[in-house]
Amino acid sequence: MEILHSDALVLFGVTGDLARKQIFPALYAMVKRGELKVSVIGVASPKWTEEQLRGRLRDSIEESGKDGASGIDDPAALDDLLGRMRYVSGNYQDSATYTSIKQALGEAQRPAFYLAIPPALFETVIRGLGEAGLAKDGRVIVEKPFGRDLESAVELNREAHEAFPEDAIFRIDHFLGKEAIMNILYYRFANSFLEPIWNRNYVASVQITMAEDFGVKNRGAFYETAGCLRDVVENHLFQIVALLAMEAPATRNYGAVQAEKAKVFEAIRPLRPEDVVRGQYEGYRAEKDVPAHSDVETYCALRLYIDSWRWADVPWILRSGKYLKATATEVLVELKPAPQRLFEDSAPLGGRANYLRFRLSPDASIALATRVKSVGKEFVGEQRELFLCEELVGQEAPYERLLAAAMAGDGALFTRQDAVEAAWAVVDPVLKNHGPAHSYPRGSWGPKEAEALLGPGGSWHNPKAREPNGCS
């Protein structure tokens, strides 16, 4: 069956920060590449004129330039985009708003509805679209988080399916649109040398770190409703786990890839309180809109086990946090030591065995650590990295890629219902049943209590702010 392209884009929350910082620049880039040729209807509650909306869009593009330069490098493309913009002001709970949207759509039959709005309004808008008859042949694009726990995710899925079929629901995790994240899938299954060792027989552990050297940045009110576990671990880091742990799909189509990712989440043991360490950076309670006795975590580390034939008993250690020592995201897959200590220094004594390292941000690279003999008569050596720097010049920004894919009906970079619910089932037991958040100094690597997750002799791999091998 032919998949038809969306013939209009309706952007709820068009006056918000997400639209200004991410979506407007993405739309501009899509117009420049000839990928956006439909009308864009912005919807929000402020009583703006269309001129005000166009001014907001123009300001957004100017601000998106790097190093202080204007981001408007193609005035004709900007004029094209401005000419496609329409604005509907209204309350999301008012049926008249959806009548106005229908009028603004004109003859469009297959609109895509992007919900760049607070999650508490998802069900309201989806219900409004369904009751107004706008969902027929349309698509809905929903920002994370998709639910706050398993119960709310199931309810949101139920509500979404009242209006849209599953293949018309596009759950965005912008992490999946990043070039370095997509490369994990490619690297694993485009190369044959990795498969023989990519299992419990050779892999000792997997560490995933997503660190930020800044705080909540005046988003205390939001963070109080989310916390680190909900904000990035259950979605961003879990998606990395799925790409690393999944079996090879039979084909590269949407269904096959999503099915294998869902199997990973279904195989992860539900977390116990002893599998999780929560932290809060010093001074968080003094942030704007944060209560004086807040126990919300700005740092979360956890230990996962995937009960599958491939990964049985291999610990997966995940952590993320604000105000850590560097801003970087890395994966370290540590291999088991050689079975025989033929050379005195061949087995790690307080050091690491061979490993594979994926650096995902801010730069991208792949490194394989291997021992090599030092010059001389003695059989001694050192561990060095075989290093590949990923040149990502000209890459599409995540929102460009994801918006274009959703409007084309390509769900490969989005999350499916069964995977969403399986991921929530893993973390649901510890969302409320957990220990207190431990205080940690700004600029550190988090609370010392997290070291207990590593087991005897284990140590954290701490990414550098910049790739030490010169990748930029």
Residues forming the active site: 236
Q: Closest by alpha carbon to 242, among 417, 368, 462, 415?
A: 415
Q: Which residue from 353, 322, 345 is spatially nearest to 442, judged by alpha carbons?
A: 322
User: Which residue bears the tokens 């030490």?
Assistant: 468
Nearest to 316 by CA among 245, 232, 236: 245
The neighbour count for residue 144, using CB atoms within 10 Å, is 19
